[in-house]
Chains A and B, each alone.
Chain A
């Protein structure tokens, strides 16, 4: 994308400067397009503030069926007048794992249809009424509102100013074409027949890629058509090109998204491309159909601007009807073709540029990525403890750990560099970058997730401290020593097993708190028991004092690792409900109470 911009930018500037010099009146049209695009930017900002949260809320809850997804895409695009905004939200939600690819494709389909409402507005209203008269009051009131402190009024201000700029843009485009017509008659460049269809489709495609807005291109086409600067046949071809061009923009934008974003953009491109091809080859049927519908709607046969709006809607509706049944098989095919990279080095799965678009998708991606880090760390810790990850499925951990006496050959440093360090670096980078888009309350959630990463990293450091002795003594000939290291393995693996269950179940309720409190008791119990046991072993000369000191150190590392994992578990899997958290705090056992539960068992064991 950057390379393309590097190439396109100077070409565009040179082209514009040349056309301003060669055709001085083209500057009015260019100004109209610029003001129109500026208006779209304002409108997007305004609706983003006003409806962003609501839209995202609705999006997650009303897209469980394909038809609902299509309806959502259609209505939201018709209201916001920006299919690009809906595409960005969808890509962001798909990347964060909040939306299925099939639902997202449905939304994009609906957005394709919703975007045609723009053509109706311009052809039916914009060209008939002197809309510049509405532009000025809207601009003034809108801009005054943008200075207001309230976020909502600011949003209204941006939306009104956006609408004002859109009207003003249309006015200047129309005026520009009128002046231009006196200088040069663009209609003489019209190319009839199938050749013209192909040339103008390509032209529409290229213009949309450069302008990055099919809506703006459609307005130019309709304005030019209303002033007979382009023929109806060529205008149709330009509209087909614009429909394909808008997906190329998305395709280029998805280069920075993860594989899910790429799958979505590729689906959008493929479907619009296929629809475009079908319409090009069946153009006569389509135009006859448009004539028929226009007649039924009472549109005059020479009212080409409205007929173009009919064509635009019919063309997109045709695509949705014909291709909707193929969404699921096509998505399945894409999932086979575009897969996540399977490099040995762990790459972030959820965090990417598109996850930074919205606070909620960003926090969800950050949460998922931290869990991804936990999963990698869990594997690393288990290998450091000389157990295979399959032990997490064990029904009897104590017995299976005792029996697991095979040395696992691996390089800790290499594994750490490949599977943990890159993820920690990404998480730190994104927690820094994402802060700008979060509210004060959302930042608290971000800091919790950052703390979870830190706790996980600390657990690795603690296990790193004991892993050399672990490798040396976990299958020692001295049964007492072997037993000590098995107890260390048992404690950490028990915590990992519990966290693994929480990760699979994903309940995020108070059952998590109940499970984690039990781990707290286990850690306390481990410390109590080891103290008593170690004293006895030294007294009975079963281990040398030097080795006892190593065990003491390793015991501290073990406890540290278990505590850090427990903290991370609380931060990652606990409920997010504030009241529920308060209630959990109320029944949280004090250190003495935990010790009492741990001690009672020691008493039980003694009796």
Chain B
């Protein structure tokens, strides 16, 4: 086991303040879940949409979610790297 991990476990055991990144990663994962949920809903909506206008509207929303998800993925890699979990 790495020293940093042992240190983290000890910190947790004695009520030490968890590293900010740990909380950030947790929150980022929650956000990714919400975005994926939104993406899933939009995709099923797109399948049901009949009007072209509606389809375009949903596609735009999907593109936005995709961009947000990409950014989130990039950040989670960075955060994990900073935390020594790569």
Which residues of A are at the interface with B, using a C-beta cutoff of 8 A?
398, 509-511, 513-514, 517-518, 521, 525, 577, 579-580, 582-584, 586-587, 589, 593, 596-598, 600-601, 604-605
Contact = CB atoms under 8 A, between A and B. Distances in A.
A510 B61 contact: no
Interface in B54-86: 56-57, 59-61, 63-65, 67-68, 71-72, 75
B53 interface: yes
Q: State the majority secondary structure of interface residues on B.
A: helix
Interface residues of B, number: 25
Interface string B2-20: 0000000000000000001
B63 A600 contact: yes
Lowest 4 A-B CB distances belong to which pairs?
A587-B71, A583-B27, A601-B60, A579-B23
B41 to A, nearest CB: 11
A586 B20 contact: no
Contacts of A518: 61, 64
30 contacts: A398-B53, A510-B27, A510-B31, A511-B34, A511-B38, A514-B34, A514-B38, A517-B64, A521-B60, A521-B64, A525-B60, A579-B20, A579-B23, A579-B24, A582-B24, A583-B27, A583-B31, A586-B28, A586-B72, A587-B71, A587-B72, A589-B68, A593-B67, A596-B67, A597-B63, A597-B64, A600-B63, A601-B59, A604-B56, A605-B56
Contact of B75 (A398, A587, A604): A587
A511 B27 CA distance: 12
Q: State the majority secondary structure of interface residues on A.
A: helix
A596 B68 CA distance: 13
A587 B68 contact: yes
Contacts of B53: 398
Nearest to A520: B64
B46 interface: no
Contacts of B24: 579, 582-583
Contacts of B67: 589, 593, 596-597
| B27, B38, B65 pick with most chain A CB within 10 angstroms | B27
Contacts, number: 69
A601 B31 CA distance: 25
Contact of A580 (B27, B57, B75): B27
B8 to A, nearest CB: 17
B75 A586 contact: yes
Contacts of B27: 510, 577, 579-580, 582-583
A168 to B, nearest CB: 42
A215 B72 CA distance: 60
B73 to A, nearest CB: 10
Interface in B31-62: 31, 34-35, 38, 53, 56-57, 59-61
Given A601-B56, A605-B56, A584 B63 contact: no
B74 to A, nearest CB: 9
A605 B54 CA distance: 11
A600 B56 CA distance: 10
Contacts of A584: 31
Contacts of A589: 64, 67-68, 71
Contacts of B35: 514
A525 B64 CA distance: 13
A593 B69 CA distance: 13
Contacts of A511: 34, 38
Contacts of A398: 53
B60 A600 contact: yes
B34 to A, nearest CB: 5
A589 B70 CA distance: 11
Given A514-B35, A514-B68, A587-B31, 14 more contacts: A398-B53, A509-B34, A513-B31, A518-B61, A525-B60, A583-B75, A586-B71, A586-B72, A587-B75, A589-B68, A589-B71, A597-B60, A597-B64, A600-B63
B33 to A, nearest CB: 9
A126 B75 CA distance: 66
A517 B31 contact: no
Contacts of B20: 579
B39 to A, nearest CB: 10
Contacts of A604: 56, 59-60
Nearest to A605: B56
A479 to B, nearest CB: 18
B64 A583 contact: no
B24 to A, nearest CB: 6
A579 B30 CA distance: 12
B60 A583 contact: no
Contacts of B61: 518
Nearest to A587: B71
Contacts of A593: 67
Nearest to A601: B60
A67 to B, nearest CB: 33
Contacts of A510: 27, 30-31, 34
A525 B60 CA distance: 10
Contacts of A597: 60, 63-64, 67
